[in-house]
Structure 1
Amino acid sequence: MTDELAAPTPAEREPVEPELVESESGRSESGKPQSGKSRMRADAKRNTEQIRRAAIDAFRGRGLAVPLEDVAKAAGVSKATVFNRFGGRIGLIEAVIEELVAAELYAIVDHARTIANAGERVAYYLAAIRELQYRQPAVNDVLLQMYPESQQLMAICHVAGEFNAELIAAGHASGELRAEFRTDDLEALVHDSALALKYGTRPPVADYDRRTTFLLDGIRRPRE
């Protein structure tokens, strides 16, 4: 996708230099007082972490399409500094996506695998993913593959897709799920929720949770 911001002009760019490892005492590893250049490099390291933390906060609350000017302002740096440190939006996404999205999504997958009963596993997973989608807008951007140029983002989608197939196979083998309910149906439900939350009117949480129950009732095999 095309970023809404143009790359900074040469005049806007700030020099990017290799960073030095520094001690808290203000001296280099050799014990000599730091030069002005090494202090500048320390500032660059701090700027990089400030941008990373600002991006996590902004993406977590508003999704991955937050204007980069907003991230720069929150970090106390210029837009040119964001481009210099991360190369633009995709580089910034890749710098934070593991902490921002992957950690929580993978934790859901790992916990689901500990649930022995296939029906309970499906119920937990679908409810947990929908709750994460409601709470964390960046998750919807990942699941909708809004930035396919990001290899890390696409890797997260691949992990989710593999687990969806594993989950549906177990649900069929146990007889908990409707025989006609397939992996692509589960993915469509998750994607539909992502689209509704991203572009539609956000429902009250009580209504959203009630609809999760309806979804679960719809995919389970009817009891005889």
Structure 2
Amino acid sequence: MALVETGATAMRPTLRADAARNVAQIRAAAIAAFRGRGLNTPLEEIAAAAGVSKATVYNRFGGRDGLIDAVIGELVAAEMDAIMQRARRVDDPWQAIATYVADRRDLLYREPAFTDALLMTYPNSRQLVALANAATDATEHLLQRGHDAGVLRPGFTAADLYYADVANGLALRALPGQTREDYDRRTRFFIDSLRRPG
């Protein structure tokens, strides 16, 4: 889901060695910070971890939105793309939905930044917008397959799954400490509730 480089981007001059090192250090620090705490991590902390000033972060990335665009692929987009592709390869409509929902919830458990991506916390991030659009399309397609096959609970929509995932992500953030075993058990209950009765 990475954005294709435009001609203007491709024509930028090559960074000096020290500037390129700063960019790499900032990216690494941002990934580590966002991965542990979500996309709201203060830029001052990221700059300090990278050994640069906050002004350098703005100079190299243009601020938080640019920094998110630079790292969200590694944090969330690549995994979400794999989740969508895996579900599309499942022939059985119900198993495709179950796989997709389970994988999304797994990503929510492991990656706090996914909750921020769902919430579109930073709507000026082009990468987050692209991710949201692709996920919405994939969800609508999979759920329509389930309705057409008569295996999905009537009336269940992509918006319903979205709100359930947002609520789940916010609960994980507000109530840390849920064991993986309990989380997976609750995920199974949730998935079972989506199947058409009877």
Shared fold by TM > 0.5? yes
Structure 1 residue 183: deviation in Å? Answer: 2.1
Task: Give the unaligned 5+ runs of structure 1.
Answer: 1-17, 22-40
Structure 1 residue 159: deviation in Å? Answer: 0.7
Asked whether the 8 Å contact 1:20–1:42 carries over to 2, the reply is: no
1:146 partner SS = coil
Q: TM-score, normalised by structure 2?
A: 0.89
Structure 1 residue 200: deviation in Å? Answer: 3.4
Report the structure, 1 or 2, having the larger helix content: 2
Whole-angstrom CA distance in 1 between matches of 2:54 and 2:13 = 20
Task: Give the unaligned 5+ runs of structure 2.
Answer: 1-11
Residue identity over aligned pairs, in percent, reads 51
- CA offsets, 1:39-92, max 9 Å, x none? xx2101111111111111111111111111211122111222111111111111
Equivalent residue number for residue 166 of structure 2 = 191
Whole-angstrom CA distance in 2 between matches of 1:199 and 1:87 = 30
1:179 partner SS = coil
Equivalent residue number for residue 128 of structure 1 = 103
Residue 131 of structure 2 corresponds to residue 156 of structure 1? yes
Whole-angstrom CA distance in 2 between matches of 1:77 and 1:84 = 11
Residue 21 of structure 2 corresponds to residue 46 of structure 1? yes
Equivalent residue number for residue 106 of structure 1 = 81
Equivalent residue number for residue 143 of structure 1 = 118
Matched residue type, 1:214 = F
The alignment's C-alpha RMSD in Å is 1.5
Residue 193 of structure 2 corresponds to residue 221 of structure 1? no
Equivalent residue number for residue 173 of structure 1 = 148
Picking from 41, 44, 48, the partner of 1:69 is 44
Picking from 169, 178, 187, the partner of 1:212 is 187
1:122 partner SS = helix
Whole-angstrom CA distance in 1 between matches of 2:177 and 2:133 = 27
Equivalent residue number for residue 56 of structure 2 = 81
Matched residue type, 2:63 = G
Residue 169 of structure 2 corresponds to residue 200 of structure 1? no
Which has the higher Rg, Structure 1 or Structure 2? Answer: 1
Quick one: higher RCO (CA 8 Å, sep 6+), 1 or 2? Answer: 2
